[in-house]
């Protein structure tokens, strides 16, 4: 098991086709971006969530089965962890991946910066831990998700 996607992608190990690889997180272990997938070869498009290119040119097809796709699996990052990272591309990639199967796109609690428009298709369902009305005792918003443009 790899700690992060980057460590998996840069590994000098040559994996055989059919090998199962796992990663604990996208940017850091247990950051919500962990998953597993199967090594494959051939033409592919690395989308940063469902397909990851390995150092030897093969790729990992991630396990994204089910009716809900988390933006964290595509590399969205909560700004309370990263500071200022733009999650636009990660969120859009998750929406694009979910669209053909009409899977829900899950947005976990957190704050995500989006510096460009996100295209949401007809029928797309965003699900998640939305920002609740009111504030915590410190005057900050209560737990939930916020997307900033």
pLDDT at residue number 65: 87
Examine the pLDDT at 21 and tell me if it is beyond 50.
yes
More confident residue, 17 or 79: 17
Q: Against a cut of 0.85, is the pTM above it?
A: no
pLDDT at residue number 130: 67
pLDDT at residue number 61: 97
pLDDT in tens, 23-32: 999 999 999 9
The SS3 assignment for 141 reads strand
* DSSP-assigned beta bridge partners for residue 59: 40, 53
pLDDT in tens, 30-87: 999 999 999 999 999 999 999 999 999 999 999 998 889 999 999 999 887 766 689 9
pLDDT at residue number 144: 53
């Amino acid at each position: 098991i790899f700690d992060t996607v980057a460590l998996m992608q840069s590994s000098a190990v040559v994996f055989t086709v059919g090998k199962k690889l796992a990663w604990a997180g996208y940017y850091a272990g247990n950051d919500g971006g962990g998953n597993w997938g199967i090594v494959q070869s051939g033409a592919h498009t690395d989308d940063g969530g469902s397909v990851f290119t390995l150092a030897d040119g093969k790729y990992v097809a991630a396990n994204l089965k089910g009716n809900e796709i988390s933006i964290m699996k595509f590399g969205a990052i909560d700004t309370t962890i990263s500071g200022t990272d733009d999650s636009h591309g990660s969120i859009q990639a998750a929406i694009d991946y979910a669209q053909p199967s009409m899977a829900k796109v899950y947005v976990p609690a957190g704050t995500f910066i989006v510096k460009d428009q996100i295209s949401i298709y007809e029928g797309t369902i965003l699900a998640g831990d939305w920002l609740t009305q009111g504030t915590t005792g410190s005057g900050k918003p209560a737990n939930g998700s916020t997307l900033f443009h």
